[in-house]
């Protein structure tokens, strides 16, 4: 399976950190977010991952390269795990030439993925799922006939509607919505439902024609949500709920929360962090 990871967003909400550093390299507990995302792709069976980068994103490529200056540390578990990961998946990089939106970034993958369906995982969202989320999405894709794009969705609180693509349509089987309406980052009154796109997709190559036909939308950018709306006119598109947890690290609070939630589960610092948090509460 090929997986595309768009990682070209500017990270405005993390300035000044992201002035010279990719937001995808922000650490969550012990490793950068992008490493979690590549791990999720590998866990779902991806053997080929294309990361769409852009200006100020070179650290992502360096992260997955072998590092001669650290060769004396070969065998250190943290580095060994990363080496093993980079050995399991073939990583490719392509640069988005200008920040023209998520759909534009995905369009850069067209030649690379060819005529097969492919996975998309956003470079700033961690999904911890069992089975791995893309495996769940691909299973749904097969179950629904093997010709329709599938998006991961979850219910979002009212105050977060404006942060996500929101979908709506009839529930055609438990946990599966046939998507008929999509709105990118609606106000609560514009929102067709409370079902938000979490940032994981299993798409047919039909998405590329749909992206080409999609004019710039919100923020003057070509939105993947709008392209999916267009795709839904010619092919079925399904939103599916999944087993597992999504950690959006798109803003400072969510990033801090992901560190706490994943931190308390960490084998090295989890116990101390839990004790610290309990003491703070009293
Ligand atoms: C993007 C998508 C949005 C989706 C979200 C998930 O927005 O445009 O539809 O719900 O990711 O995190 P962004 O977070 O890049 O603003």
Report domain extents, the chain. 2-250
* Close Cβ partners of 221 (under 8 Å, ≥ 6 residues apart): 99, 100, 101, 102, 103, 104
- Report the DSSP beta bridge partners of residue 171: 177
Closest of 19, 8, 88, 23 to residue 252, by C-alpha:
23
Q: Whose CA is nearest to atom 9 of ligand 1?
A: 165
d(CA 37, CA 29): 14
Helix (H, G, I), strand (E, B) or coil at 97: coil
Q: Which residues does a 6 A CB cutoff place in the pocket of ligand 1?
A: 9, 102, 122, 125, 164-165, 184, 196-199, 223-225, 248, 250
State which of 4, 122, 196 you would mutate to test the pocket of ligand 1, scoring each by most atoms of that ligand within 8 A of its C-beta: 122
**pTM of this structure:** 0.95
- 70: buried, middle or exposed (CB in 10 Å: 19+, 13-18, 0-12)? exposed
Domain 2-250: CATH architecture, name and number where available: Alpha-Beta Complex (3.90)
Cα dihedral across residues 207, 213, 217, 222: positive or negative: positive
User: pLDDT per position in the chain (282 positions), as tens?
Assistant: 999 999 998 889 999 999 999 999 999 999 999 999 999 999 999 999 999 999 889 999 999 998 878 778 777 888 888 999 999 999 999 999 998 999 999 999 999 999 999 999 999 999 999 999 999 999 999 999 999 999 999 999 999 999 999 999 999 999 999 999 999 999 999 999 999 999 999 999 999 999 999 999 888 899 999 999 999 999 999 999 999 999 999 889 999 999 999 999 999 999 999 999 999 866
**Contact present, 238 and 178 (Cβ < 8 Å):** yes
The pLDDT value recorded for residue 71 is 78
- State in Å: Cα 199 to ligand 1 middle: 6
Q: Whose CA is nearest to atom 14 of ligand 1?
A: 250
The pLDDT value recorded for residue 180 is 96
- State in Å: Cα 94 to ligand 1 middle: 20
Q: Whose CA is nearest to atom 7 of ligand 1?
A: 164
The pLDDT value recorded for residue 149 is 98
| Angle, in degrees to the nearest 10, between helices 33-43 and 133-143 | 40
- 230: buried, middle or exposed (CB in 10 Å: 19+, 13-18, 0-12)? buried
- State in Å: Cα 272 to ligand 1 middle: 34
* Close Cβ partners of 135 (under 8 Å, ≥ 6 residues apart): 43, 44, 45
- 36 sits in which H/E element: helix 33-43
């Amino acid at each position: 399976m090929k997986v595309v990871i768009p990682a070209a967003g500017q990270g405005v909400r993390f300035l000044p950190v992201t002035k010279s550093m990719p937001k995808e390299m922000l650490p969550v507990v012990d490793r950068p977010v992008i490493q979690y995302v590549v791990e999720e792709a590998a866990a779902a069976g991806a053997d080929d991952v294309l990361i769409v980068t852009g200006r100020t994103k070179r650290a992502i490529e360096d992260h997955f390269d072998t590092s001669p200056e650290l060769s004396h540390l070969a065998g250190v578990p943290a580095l060994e795990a990363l080496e093993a990961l980079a050995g399991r998946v073939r990583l490719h990089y392509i640069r988005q030439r200008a920040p023209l939106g998520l759909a534009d970034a995905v369009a850069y993958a067209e030649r690379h993925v060819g005529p097969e369906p492919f996975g998309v995982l956003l470079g700033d969202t961690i999904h911890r799922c069992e089975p791995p989320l893309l495996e769940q999405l691909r299973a749904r894709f097969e179950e629904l006939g093997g010709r329709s794009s599938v998006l991961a969705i979850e219910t979002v609180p009212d105050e977060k509607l404006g942060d996500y693509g929101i979908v709506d349509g009839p529930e055609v089987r438990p946990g599966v919505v046939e998507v008929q309406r999509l709105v990118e980052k609606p106000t609560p009154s514009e929102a067709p439902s409370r079902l938000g796109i979490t940032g994981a997709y299993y798409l047919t190559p039909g998405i590329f024609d749909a992206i080409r036909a999609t004019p710039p939308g919100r923020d003057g950018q070509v939105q993947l949500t709008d392209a999916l709306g267009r795709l839904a006119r010619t092919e079925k598109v399904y939103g599916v709920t999944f087993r597992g947890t999504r950690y959006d690290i798109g803003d400072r609070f969510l990033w801090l929360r992901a560190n706490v939630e994943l931190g308390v589960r960490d084998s090295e610092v989890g116990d101390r962090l839990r004790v610290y948090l309990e003491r703070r509460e009293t």
